[in-house]
Amino acid sequence: MASQITHALAGEAALVAASKTSALPAPGPVLGTFFRLGCQGPDLFYHGQRSRPVSISLGTLVHRRGFGRLARALVADALRIPEPAWNAFVLGFLTHAAVDRSSHPFIVWFSGWHDPSRPETARYLGCHAFLERALDAALLEGRLGLQPRGWSIAERLLPSGGVPRQFAARLASALRAAYPERLAADTLLERRVANAFIDSEGFYRFTDPAAVSLSEAALAPWASLDPEAGRRAVAVLYPEGGLGDLDIANRRRLPWAHPCDPSRVDARDWFQLVEAAEAEAAGVLALALGILDASRPDPPELDSLERAVGNGTLNVGGADGKAARPVACSPLPLPELMEAEFRVRRERLRGSPRRG
Ligand SMILES: [Zn+2]
């Protein structure tokens, strides 16, 4: 997957492209937070690991299969009870799949993974999440000329009045419609989803690059971290120490391969992958906007929407869309960069002079 900034920027670009084909206006500034929060899709459930009952297994389920059915259920629900904030959230949610599918092979190839049966791969723990954030930073600079600390995740993703209470009930009911075999009997589902929103809000505030920079207050908690805990913490933060001349976005367009099938070679850079996702997501949004625009109950176009979104995995998988284990990678020296990030924060904290 990509991380929060890429999902938001790609979703917004897809919406601008799709809105040109629809009579319905795009969600305006007030609704923008709902839309960008929606763009985070089922990653919201990955952040739901604190408040009980937790939601993390929903993140795994939705990433694994059935996203097209969920998209259909969400739009059907938005049709039944139209409400601007919810509609904006649903439209954002629909864009998540294209971005994940387009970016995941690249990220897994270049970050590797930890295989507990091979202790030597422990050094790659956290590299996936860290690369996502470094790529977020590259896209943000390329598109808007901003550093991550200039793009407050809390301000851009969190509605000022909080997430409306009905969101959890509506998202839970769409999940139940999409995955009845797994969720029909889960009596805690709505609570789980509500907790995902609560925990995600906490996570976005805790990792907000606008707040978690090199200021003294932000650095204080680093005093108590040992190097291992520091590395884990760095993985979910935006890089502050610079990436040197490492070509994390593959700007040179060197060949890389699909981690599940190294015979599938690609040479696109990160920006091309995001643009491909935006084009696909724009097609999905044009369909969804058309359905919401016509406002007919249970229209046959919901079938086309489900097909366009697709039910294949959002993780890496085979050409058939089934989730598959990665077998090959060529990781960038991310462990070293993460250690450098940890050192930058520790040295600042101690007030020692910065290394040039
Ligand atoms: Zn995702």
**How many domains, the chain?**
1
* Gap from CA of 29 to ligand 1 centroid (Å): 24
* 185 domain residue, yes or no: yes
* Gap from CA of 217 to ligand 1 centroid (Å): 31
* Gap from CA of 196 to ligand 1 centroid (Å): 14
* 356 domain residue, yes or no: no
pLDDT in tens, 116-160: 999 999 999 999 999 999 999 999 999 999 999 899 999 999 999
* 355 domain residue, yes or no: no
* Gap from CA of 44 to ligand 1 centroid (Å): 8
The average pLDDT across 181-186 equals: 96
| Res 354: pLDDT | 47
- The bridge status of strand 261-266 relative to strand 256-258 is antiparallel
* Gap from CA of 347 to ligand 1 centroid (Å): 34
* Gap from CA of 214 to ligand 1 centroid (Å): 28
* 35 domain residue, yes or no: yes
* Gap from CA of 2 to ligand 1 centroid (Å): 7
| Res 88: pLDDT | 95
Residues 6+ away with beta carbon under 8 Å from 3 = 129, 132, 133, 135, 136
CA nearest to 311, candidates 64, 92, 103, 94: 64
* Gap from CA of 104 to ligand 1 centroid (Å): 9
On whether the CB atoms of residues 276 and 102 are closer than 8 A, the answer is yes
pLDDT at residue 217 is higher than 70: no
* Gap from CA of 42 to ligand 1 centroid (Å): 6
Task: Give the residues across from 38 on adjacent strands.
Answer: none
Q: Cα(291)–Cα(302) distance, rounded to whole angstroms?
A: 8
pLDDT at residue 38 is higher than 60: yes
* Gap from CA of 223 to ligand 1 centroid (Å): 32
Q: Cα(10)–Cα(96) distance, rounded to whole angstroms?
A: 9
For residue 171, the SS3 value is: helix
* Gap from CA of 91 to ligand 1 centroid (Å): 15
Run of H or E including 316: none
Q: Cα(115)–Cα(165) distance, rounded to whole angstroms?
A: 40
* Gap from CA of 45 to ligand 1 centroid (Å): 9
* Helix extents (H) in the chain: 4-19, 29-39, 43-46, 56-64, 67-80, 84-111, 127-144, 153-157, 166-178, 180-183, 189-207, 216-219, 227-235, 270-294, 301-309, 334-350
* Gap from CA of 291 to ligand 1 centroid (Å): 25
Q: Cα(352)–Cα(122) distance, rounded to whole angstroms?
A: 30
Domain that holds residue 246: 4-350
pLDDT in tens, 82-128: 999 999 999 999 999 999 999 999 999 999 999 999 999 999 999 99
Q: Would you state the torsion angle of the CA atoms of residues 54, 58, 64, 70, taken in this order, to the nearest 10 degrees?
A: -160
pLDDT at residue 25 is higher than 70: no
* Gap from CA of 41 to ligand 1 centroid (Å): 6
* 306 domain residue, yes or no: yes
* 329 domain residue, yes or no: yes
Confidence at 292, pLDDT banded by 50, 70, 90: very high
Task: Give the residues across from 156 on adjacent strands.
Answer: none
On whether the CB atoms of residues 338 and 232 are closer than 8 A, the answer is no
Rounded to 5°, the CA angle 254-329-120 comes to 135
Give the phi and the psi of residue 261 in degrees, each rounded to 5.
Answer: -155, 90
pLDDT at residue 228 is higher than 80: no
| Res 22: pLDDT | 72
Q: What is the mean pLDDT of the chain?
A: 91
Token pair belonging to 29: 């500034």
* 135 domain residue, yes or no: yes
| Res 144: pLDDT | 94
* Inter-axis angle of helices 67-80 and 84-111, nearest 10: 170
* Gap from CA of 300 to ligand 1 centroid (Å): 28
CA nearest to 78, candidates 47, 38, 40: 38
* Gap from CA of 348 to ligand 1 centroid (Å): 33
pLDDT at residue 352 is higher than 60: no
The average pLDDT across 276-299 equals: 94
On whether the CB atoms of residues 166 and 86 are closer than 8 A, the answer is yes
* Gap from CA of 96 to ligand 1 centroid (Å): 6
* 149 domain residue, yes or no: yes
